[in-house]
């Protein structure tokens, strides 16, 4: 069945919930505004391009694309069986109006350059590129392809690109974007590939790629700022949105990301944000060994705000903060992890200072809602964090496990009523403080295990089965208690 552009846009809007509105999808710049930015405007059909999808349009595009030129695509279907490549350009645009691009199959495409548009390279990037208003029809078998590879110094605008059909050819994923100037900026808005991609072993390109395509990629040539606004990615076998760079900035605003291997969002770079995004892991379509919702690989500073993570089929942590990350904040967010052995938030031993504030974590599996590793990599502060769910204690006893020094827990609310000795928090790091918090857990709510210089003040801690409210294990040092309510008493084995 051939879907019209309007019906497909509506489907993307529904999938995003409140992130987008129909008016927002339709609110791209008018054709007249677009045309005023260019010295030359060419209607590709008037220039000889077939708009019925029978003959490749790449030769026509190649003949007419040039600096300070806009190519417009009237309503129609446009077949492409080889890539359009342009480097070192200045002010080039491609704008469709109810226009559908139809890639040739893997077997018929003039490869191995499996891209529709390759605009700029790391050695000869372009400048000022606009690409917007296209459906990509890859519903036919073996037609998955990289729609756009854009390497520009500054001035990238990609908007309203909707890819229909599973990426099933095993070639590169649909989008690749780099801003090479440290002061340059780019916007990728509503780039949607909701149907994801197949593992390479299930494609005609089997044996020529590891795992398979990544949905959107950013590589080490990126040094500026890229904003991904309202993008939608289904399950890709490589990664969903993957930024791997050293000095650039990545901002993810809104959007929906689902079921990719390794991570649905995976960031590395100097700095970055993820705001108001929804990430779901409810299927493992590629038999991936791990599917983190968000993985932060390396960088100076990351901020996560207003995110919603739902993992009804856990196969990775909701948020994994790796050793190469210096500082992270997670605020005003919701995390739900179903029955399994994966954590809500995991902070690796050498990951730096982390602040978690106003976060709800529902966890039903025998794992930690928050797992904090390391000793002196940087303080971790939890403030107004609420932990609920039916997690049991058979594998991980505690909702919060902290082995790091200098951590502070203020305003916690922990309710863990699951079986097998489920507990609240275990402190193994020195100079820890738990204040203004409430715990109701099956077994011991608070455990101090080998830690020294611990402060516990203004806390309520109740064990459902009447074990001690606080246990201090024999190898622990000083523990200061003040203004606490411990109905089950304190068990001190020092």
pLDDT digits (tens, 9 = 90+) for 132-174: 999 999 999 999 999 999 999 999 999 999 999 999 999 999 9
Those residues whose C-beta lies under 8 Å from the C-beta of residue 356, and which sit 6 or more positions away, are: 329, 330, 331, 345, 370, 380, 381, 382, 383, 385
Which pLDDT value is given to residue 2?
26
pTM > 0.85: yes or no = yes
User: How remote is the C-alpha of 304 from its chain's centroid?
Assistant: 10
Which pLDDT value is given to residue 113?
77
Those residues whose C-beta lies under 8 Å from the C-beta of residue 200, and which sit 6 or more positions away, are: 170, 206, 207, 208, 209, 210, 211, 212, 213, 237
Select from 46, 68, 66 the least CA-distant residue to 57: 46
Which pLDDT value is given to residue 5?
36
User: How remote is the C-alpha of 51 from its chain's centroid?
Assistant: 36
Strand partners, 433: 408, 455
Select from 67, 71, 58 the least CA-distant residue to 126: 67
**115 pLDDT band (50/70/90 cuts)?**
very high
Q: Are 149 and 156 in contact (CB under 8 A)?
A: no
Over the stretch 430-463, which tens digit does the pLDDT of each residue have?
999 999 999 999 999 999 999 999 999 999 999 9
Which pLDDT value is given to residue 412?
98
> Regarding predicted confidence, which is higher, 482 or 22?
482
Asked if residue 15 has pLDDT above 90, the reply is no
Asked if the bond preceding 239 is cis, omega within 30° of 0, the reply is no
CA dist., res. 265 & res. 369, Å (int): 20
Asked if residue 32 has pLDDT above 70, the reply is no
Select from 197, 247, 240, 196 the least CA-distant residue to 226: 247
Residues 250/27/52/106 CA torsion (nearest 10 deg):
20
The share of the chain scoring above pLDDT 90, in percent, equals 90
CA dist., res. 255 & res. 17, Å (int): 9
Residues 41/74/135/185 CA torsion (nearest 10 deg):
20
Those residues whose C-beta lies under 8 Å from the C-beta of residue 380, and which sit 6 or more positions away, are: 347, 353, 354, 355, 356, 372, 402, 404, 407
């Amino acid at each position: 069945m051939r879907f019209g552009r309007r019906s497909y846009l509506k489907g993307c809007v529904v999938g995003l919930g409140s992130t987008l509105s129909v008016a927002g999808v339709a609110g791209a710049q008018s054709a007249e505004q677009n045309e005023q930015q260019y010295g030359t405007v060419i209607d590709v059909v008037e220039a000889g391009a077939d708009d019925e999808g029978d003959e490749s349009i790449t030769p026509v595009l190649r003949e007419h694309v040039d600096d300070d030129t806009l190519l417009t695509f009237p309503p129609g279907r446009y077949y492409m069986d080889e890539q359009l490549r342009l480097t070192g350009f200045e002010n080039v645009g491609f704008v469709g109006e109810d226009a559908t691009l139809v890639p040739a199959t893997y077997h018929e495409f003039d490869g191995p350059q499996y891209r529709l548009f390759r605009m700029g390279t790391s050695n000869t990037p372009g400048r000022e590129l606009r690409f917007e208003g296209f459906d990509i029809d890859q519903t036919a078998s073996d037609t998955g392809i990289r729609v756009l590879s854009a390497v520009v110094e500054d001035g990238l605008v990609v908007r309203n690109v909707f890819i229909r059909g599973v990426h099933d050819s095993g070639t590169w994923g649909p989008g690749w974007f780099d801003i090479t100037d440290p002061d340059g900026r780019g916007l990728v808005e509503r780039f949607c590939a909701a149907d994801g991609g197949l593992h390479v072993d299930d494609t005609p390109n089997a044996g020529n790629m590891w795992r398979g395509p990544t949905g959107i990629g950013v590589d080490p040539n990126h040094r500026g700022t890229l904003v991904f606004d309202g993008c939608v990615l289904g399950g890709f076998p490589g990664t969903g949105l993957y930024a791997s760079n050293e000095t650039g900035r990545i901002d993810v605003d809104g959007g929906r990301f689902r079921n990719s291997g390794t991570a649905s969002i995976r960031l590395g770079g100097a700095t970055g944000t993820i705001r108001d995004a929804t990430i779901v892991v409810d299927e493992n379509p590629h038999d991936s060994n791990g599917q983190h919702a968000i993985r932060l690989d390396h960088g100076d500073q990351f901020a996560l705000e207003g995110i919603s993570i739902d993992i009804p089929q856990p196969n990775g942590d909701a948020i994994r903060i790796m050793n190469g990350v210096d500082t992270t904040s997670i605020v005003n967010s919701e995390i739900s992890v179903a029955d399994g052995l994966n954590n809500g938030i995991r902070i690796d031993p050498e990951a730096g200072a982390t602040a978690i504030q106003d976060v709800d974590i529902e966890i039903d599996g025998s794992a930690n809602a928050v797992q904090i590793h390391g000793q002196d990599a940087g303080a971790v502060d939890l403030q107004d964090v609420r932990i609920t769910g039916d997690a049991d204690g058979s594998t991980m006893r505690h909702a919060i496990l902290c082995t790091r020094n200098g951590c502070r827990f203020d305003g916690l609310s922990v309710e863990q009523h699951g079986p097998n000795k489920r507990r609240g928090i275990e402190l193994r790091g020195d100079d820890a403080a738990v204040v203004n918090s409430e715990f109701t857990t099956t077994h011991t709510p608070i455990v101090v295990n080998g830690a020294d210089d611990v402060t516990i003040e203004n806390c309520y801690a109740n064990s459902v089965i009447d074990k001690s409210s606080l246990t201090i294990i024999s190898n622990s040092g000083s523990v200061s208690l003040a203004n606490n309510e411990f109905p089950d008493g304190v068990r001190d084995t020092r």
